[in-house]
Structure 1
């Protein structure tokens, strides 16, 4: 299909750009990826993930299962698949065990660690618990005893969790705690509790670059690790956003390399964390108004795409395209690039509305989401 071919060509063009913006010789470690089939329909495929890693210089990834249809009992079958995926690519994939606190979490964690799991994944929103749940105590105690890191969901869908998480960490301290999605659920309190605390990290798997700019304002760069959240997060969007926000926050090449690879590699290899310095990001953002308008409309469009609205005829995507009008905005080259992405997004969205096959429709919708997200990242991070 013409629309899909054009979208793929655009993504490859920006993939070249993303690779070019990495520091010279930089390696990448992805601290947050999934494999399997989620109950929401998302699929993480091992061969696809490995191809992405090869294409973008990603040497290793922490990997864990999704919220699988056969997650009961205890994520046993899904965890076994994760271990099998890692066994098939031991140099590239480092498996984490995912736990359900309702179903013998310590026994399942112990079983999987004994079989080679390198860490523990906790998802309080999906599995319906909070950090003050007493059932977490033995899980954190086990991680501390077996010297394995914990990665915990810190994104949408939760009440504030920072204070109770800090109290739990004071009682049982694993070698590393990675708060996923930059801790945006409770970022100010997360920073108050954990900024400067060695062994606590925040991953970069968020939708908006504004979240990462605020993270760097509050948290030292030594506590930030790159993450994509594959298959939800995709390339080249993820790397472009991570690198550009780090640069905008004042990180130098060495610090960007650490964010992209070195810090997560130390976690994986069981090394002591680097002592955190000071937060570096700016408290204020000066950015051209046309780009802010475009980003605003694309945020609205992304929500509609995520909810699989059938189309957006003359809607918010049209507003974003019109905001790219180069006659008066003073940023002709940049807004023409955005317009190109958004016209391709519109065509994919229209294709999805006209397609009867469920699989083809989902591919068109997800392609449109990838393009609109890429445009949103560029709208915030393009140098003015």
Structure 2
């Protein structure tokens, strides 16, 4: 029986698969393998599923990723993996073509990291991306809040944190593309209050709780997840930065209603992806 759906899991492809570690992901301290075969086995043992993706930031890093490889891993482990593609928004028409190819590959959404990819999501020049995703029924997963990518490097590696701010960037997109399903990745600290406002105001916007050990999630996020936005919040770990083991252990200690806990762990994501699980 599937007990949880982790909507935020990094899988390295293309050039990144040949690196010792993803330069933008802090390896998990428990030392668990991030090889897709090992990840599939880990989630299967935990009775979970995982949304897997890479991040196409070739303009910034020169590293190529492969959405085809994501699709291949999903085909190999369809009982465990749900696939998202990723495109570099600076590739223009090629990015649009790649979004369309992701849909043809059976991927369910597209992952973006505005701070790492160095773009303002609400810039009108990127509207064709959102229009294409909306037309094809592909969800988008957008990083929000601060990031540990390049943290501590001179100038933060040139990464601008403000591109992860929910207002105006996410709010503008949600308003202009009301049929586009948007997941805000992570509690958007230090702008999590803006994030909560969008979740209350825009029916097409959701959030995941990835990247934060549950005991550190801002209290207002927990309060709203336990009440007003309980149907719009997903479990996410951010593996391999944070393991699902630790996240699930700490999540069990949060002061959540018994009716809310299964929604966050599984039911909200199952409904979002149209999954018919055995016991539902």
Compute the TM-score of the two structures, normalised by the length of structure 2. 0.77
Q: What does residue range 153-168 of structure 1 map to in structure 2 within 5 Å?
A: 153-157=143-147, 158-159=161-162, 160-168=165-173
Match of 1:94 among 82, 85, 95: 82
Question: For 2:183 and 2:97, how far apart are their aligned partners in 1?
Answer: 22
Q: Paired residue for 1:145?
A: 135
Query: What do the CA deviations read for 1:117-150 (whole angstroms, capped 9, x no partner)?
Result: 1111111011101222223311211121111211
Match of 2:193 among 177, 180, 188: 188
Instruction: Provide closer, same or farther for how the CA distance between residues 212 and 263 of structure 1 changes in structure 2, counting only shifts above 3 A.
Output: farther
Question: For 2:86 and 2:44, how far apart are their aligned partners in 1?
Answer: 26
Q: What does residue range 295-314 of structure 1 map to in structure 2 within 5 Å?
A: none
Match of 2:8 among 32, 40, 45: 32
Between Structure 1 and Structure 2, which shows a larger proportion of helix residues?
1
Q: Paired residue for 1:347?
A: none
| 1:45 maps onto 2:35 in alignment | yes
Q: Paired residue for 1:305?
A: none
Instruction: Provide closer, same or farther for how the CA distance between residues 266 and 175 of structure 1 changes in structure 2, counting only shifts above 3 A.
Output: farther
Q: Paired residue for 1:295?
A: none
Compute the TM-score of the two structures, normalised by the length of structure 1. 0.57
SS of 2:188 mapped into structure 1: helix
CA contact (8 A) 2:87 2:95 kept: yes
Question: For 1:117 and 1:70, how far apart are their aligned partners in 2?
Answer: 23
Question: For 2:173 and 2:63, how far apart are their aligned partners in 1?
Answer: 22
Q: Paired residue for 1:336?
A: none
Question: For 1:74 and 1:197, how far apart are their aligned partners in 2?
Answer: 35
CA contact (8 A) 1:70 1:78 kept: no
Q: Paired residue for 2:207?
A: 202
SS of 2:197 mapped into structure 1: helix
Question: For 2:59 and 2:78, how far apart are their aligned partners in 1?
Answer: 25
Give the root-mean-square deviation of aligned CA atoms. Answer: 2.7
CA contact (8 A) 1:67 1:126 kept: no
Instruction: Provide closer, same or farther for how the CA distance between residues 71 and 205 of structure 1 changes in structure 2, counting only shifts above 3 A.
Output: same
| 1:63 maps onto 2:63 in alignment | no
| 1:260 maps onto 2:260 in alignment | no
Question: For 2:251 and 2:146, how far apart are their aligned partners in 1?
Answer: 19
CA contact (8 A) 1:74 1:99 kept: no
With 234-243 and 120-129 compared, the bigger mean Cα shift is at 234-243
**CA apart distance, 1:67:** 5.6
CA contact (8 A) 1:182 1:204 kept: yes
Q: Paired residue for 2:177?
A: 172
Q: What does residue range 97-116 of structure 1 map to in structure 2 within 5 Å?
A: 97-103=85-91, 104-116=94-106
Listed as ranges, the gaps of 5+ residues in structure 1 are: 1-24, 272-384
**CA apart distance, 1:44:** 2.9
Q: Where does structure 1 differ by over 4 angstroms across 4 or more consecutive aligned residues?
A: 40-43, 66-75
Listed as ranges, the gaps of 5+ residues in structure 2 are: 17-21, 28-32, 148-160
Instruction: Provide closer, same or farther for how the CA distance between residues 140 and 173 of structure 1 changes in structure 2, counting only shifts above 3 A.
Output: farther
How many pairs were matched up?
241
| 1:226 maps onto 2:226 in alignment | no
Question: For 1:100 and 1:67, how far apart are their aligned partners in 2?
Answer: 5
**CA apart distance, 1:266:** 1.1
SS of 1:44 mapped into structure 2: coil
